């Protein structure tokens, strides 16, 4: 089987989940502990500090729903200062571009 086909098959079985973490207390040591803990989750692809209702948005890639349930119970619900998490998952990618919409020489 060609590499491209293997990669396409791998993409088909991976699910991207987005976790929204509600407000953490405003203490810097709590944020530092949370951020150190999420860096240790192997399935975590991205973590963003957010404005608005939630402090953090996490993007996880998992093999299937059983894998997600395991990560949720073993990692996400045990993160420091987290009382509740909200999950959503991507049904499909509509668009993704590696090109930044910035012209050279502009700021």
For the stretch 3-35, pLDDT in tens is 555 444 444 445 555 666 766 666 788 888 989
The kind and range of the H/E element at 63 are none
Look at residue 39 and tell me whether its pLDDT is greater than 90. yes
Smallest Cα–Cα separation from 72: which of 82, 22, 51?
82
| Predicted pLDDT of residue 74 | 93
Look at residue 58 and tell me whether its pLDDT is greater than 60. yes
Report CA torsion sign: 70, 73, 75, 77: positive
Residue 52: CA count within 13 A, CB half-sphere: 8
Q: How far apart are CA 51 and CA 37, in angstroms?
A: 20
Look at residue 106 and tell me whether its pLDDT is greater than 80. no
* Structural domains in the chain, sorted by start: 3-89 (3.30.70.920)
| Average pLDDT, integer, range 92-103 | 83
């Amino acid at each position: 089987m060609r590499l491209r086909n293997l990669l396409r098959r791998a993409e088909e079985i991976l699910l991207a989940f987005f976790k929204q973490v509600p407000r953490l207390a405003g203490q810097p040591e709590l944020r530092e502990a949370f951020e150190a803990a999420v860096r240790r989750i192997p399935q975590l692809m991205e973590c963003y500090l957010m404005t608005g209702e939630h402090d953090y948005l996490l993007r996880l890639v998992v093999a299937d729903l059983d894998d997600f349930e395991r990560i949720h119970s073993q990692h996400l619900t045990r993160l420091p200062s987290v009382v509740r998490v909200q999950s959503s998952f991507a049904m499909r990618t509509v668009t993704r571009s590696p090109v930044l919409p910035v012209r050279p020489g502009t700021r």
